[in-house]
Each structure stands twice: as structure tokens, then as C-alpha cells.
Amino acid sequence: MSLATRRAFLNSTLAVAAGGIATSNVRAIDPIRREGPARMRLSLAAYSFRNVLALRQGRQEMSLDQFIDMASAWPLDAVELTGYYFPQTTPEYLARIKGHCTRQGLDMSGSAVGNNFCVTDAARLRQEIANTKQWIEHTARMGGKTLRIFAGTVAGTDTEERARGRVVEAIQECCTHAAQFGVYLALENHGGITSTPAQLLAIVRAVRSEWFGVNLDTGNFHTADPYADLEQIAPYAVVVQMKTEIQRMGQGNEEADLRRLFGILRNANYRGYVALEYEARADPRTAVPAALRTMRELCG
């Protein structure tokens, strides 16, 4: 099979219908080439309401159904239903959640799994991979487009180079699985061995799959110039998590320049979901809708 450009692949559904692309025949990913202007849709990460969605002894203060109902009243196109907050993952339950989103006029932009591919124990790593594959299937069943994944943190006496090798191999295997379900794996810049653009891209450029990209989290680079760092990885983004704060190296949290962040996405011709992931201290029940109104205006 000849190598397709990433743009051609993104526009093609025939390849998926024909059985997908074998990742072994695809080069390491390039920045995504998109024709025309940026096109963005707004989503809301369930993590924004983590304090009330958290499962405590099998119970939640707010259920996923209630979260969906609340989100439907705000200027949103979708929700991101983080994997941590599902009380069960039976096919029947996942189908019901998908139907609830549909009835409320919302898509499911994607989900997230709390994996750690840096673990050194082989059996534990197999478990991490198996759980990620399972959440690929769960996400597909609910109509999600992306699954946020993580790399992890170097453990004990391990080295970053060895850990990176395991991470790349694990992601590669999971991408092969994701290709069968039409779900993009999105590696988040989330500390550990993805703390800087160089570390993140060392992994991203080593993975050979058209079903892989970056989850650009606007609040997770705690460097001297987070905005410049985000510009470096924006061309690889398949989904975006936008926060209302940033934190520069050695400093406390400061209000994020949302206009500048959307400008970075436009300059990269980003097309896809921008999910608000609210982590600031104010009550999310009032802060989230206010942030979403601003984001809607900037999103266009």
C-alpha cells in the first residue's frame, strides 16, 4: 500500500471501510496538513466537575447523565466523558449514555484513560495496554472520536530513554487496535516524560500510525514560555484541552490569554474539538459557563 498524506487519510473513510491501514507500513507522523481555515467545535471535559463526579464507594454526587443534562444548557457541541467517572462499562450502559447525549443534542468528542506506559513491570505494562485497548472500544461504542492517553513518569532507577522505548511500543500496539475502531489516540503533554515539547515530540515522531496525534493541553507546560511551547505541538493536535490558567516556570498560576490560545490553534489550521478542562479554584457551576461563553465568541 502506498503512503498517503495525512490530509488525504483524514478525509478518507474508504480506507477504514476497507479494513484500515497497517501501521507497519506508515511512516512516523508529520504535522497534520489541513486545507482551508481552522474549524473548531466546543466540548467540556467531565474532569471539570471531578469533585462531584468522582466515584466514592460506588456512588456519585453527580451522575454522568446529570452532567450531560447540565452541559446541554450551555453553548457546547459535545462533552468529553472521562473514563474515571463511569460506574459501569457494560455495552447497555455505554449505549444508554450515547443515546442520552444524542437526545440532548451533544456529540461525545472523546474519552480519557489514566494509563501509565512507563511502568517497568512487564505484567503491569500488559495490564495498562489491555485497559487502554478496552477504552478504545468503549469510546468507539459511544461514538467518541479520540481517546486521551498518557505516557507516564520514569520509575525508580529506570532511565528516560528506556521508558520512552516502552511507551512508544505500547502506543504503537494500541494504535493498531485503535485503527480497527476509528478512534484516534491523543497523547497529552502531561508532565513526566512529556514535560517539554522536545520530550513529547520524541515520542510522537517515533510512533508509526495514522491513528495517533497529540492532545494539546494548554495548561500543562510549566516552562519559561508555555505559549511558545504550545505553538510547537499545535500542528500535531487531534484534540485540545483548554484551561483557563497557565503556570510559568517558578511562578504561580496566572489567567490564560484565551484569545492568544485560539490564535495559536488558528495559525496551525486546527480542526477539531476544543474541550474546556476547568481546574481553577472558583465554583465550576458558575465559572464553567462563563468561560464557555468567552470561548464560544473566540471560537467563531
Residue 56: CATH number of its domain: 3.20.20.150
Predicted confidence at residue 27, as pLDDT, reads: 56
Q: pLDDT of 91-125, one tens digit each? A: 999 999 999 999 999 999 999 999 999 999 999 99
> Nearest-5° angle of CA 21, CA 27, CA 30?
105
- Round the average pLDDT of the chain to a whole number and report it: 91
CB contact at 8 A, 146 and 109: yes
**Which of 23-37, 59-73, 168-182, 257-271 has the least mean pLDDT?**
23-37
pLDDT in tens, 276-298: 999 999 999 999 999 999 999 99
pLDDT value of position 210: 94
Q: Is residue 30 part of a domain?
A: no
Pick 251 or 10 by higher pLDDT. Answer: 251
Distance set, CA 248 to CA 31, 225, 228, 279 (Å):
26, 7, 11, 16
- The percent of residues above 70 in pLDDT, for the chain, comes to 91
| 207 within 8 A of 238, measured Cβ to Cβ | no
Cα 167 to Cα 161: distance, rounded to the nearest angstrom: 10
Q: Give the SS3 label for residue 165.
A: helix
Query: How many domains does the structure of the chain reveal?
Result: 1
Region 155-163: mean pLDDT is: 96
> Does residue 276 form part of some domain?
yes
- Please report whether residue 3 resides in a domain: no
**Span 223-231, mean pLDDT?**
97
- What confidence score (pLDDT) does residue 23 get? 37
Q: Is 291 domain-assigned?
A: yes
> In the numeric block, which cell numbers belong to residue 287?
465559572
Span 199-225, mean pLDDT? Answer: 97
Distances (CA, A) of 293 to 34, 257, 277: 27, 15, 14
Range of the domain at 269: 36-299
- Structure-block grid coordinates of residue 42: 466546543
Nearest by Cα to 240 from 269, 200, 209, 277: 277
In a domain, 216, yes or no: yes
Q: What grid cell was written down for 118?
A: 512507563
Which tens digits make up the pLDDT trace of 6-55?
Answer: 434 334 333 333 333 333 445 567 888 888 899 999 999 999 999 999 99
- The three-point CA angle 30-36-42 to 5° equals 85
Q: How much of the chain, in percent, has pLDDT values that exceed 90? A: 87
Pairing of strands 271-276, 237-242: parallel
Is residue 6 one of the residues assigned to a domain? Answer: no
In eight-state DSSP terms, residue 185 is E
Indicate whether 118 belongs to any domain.
Answer: yes
Give DSSP secondary structure letters for 189-232.
Answer: --BTTBSSHHHHHHHHTT---TTEEEEEETT---SS-HHHHHHH
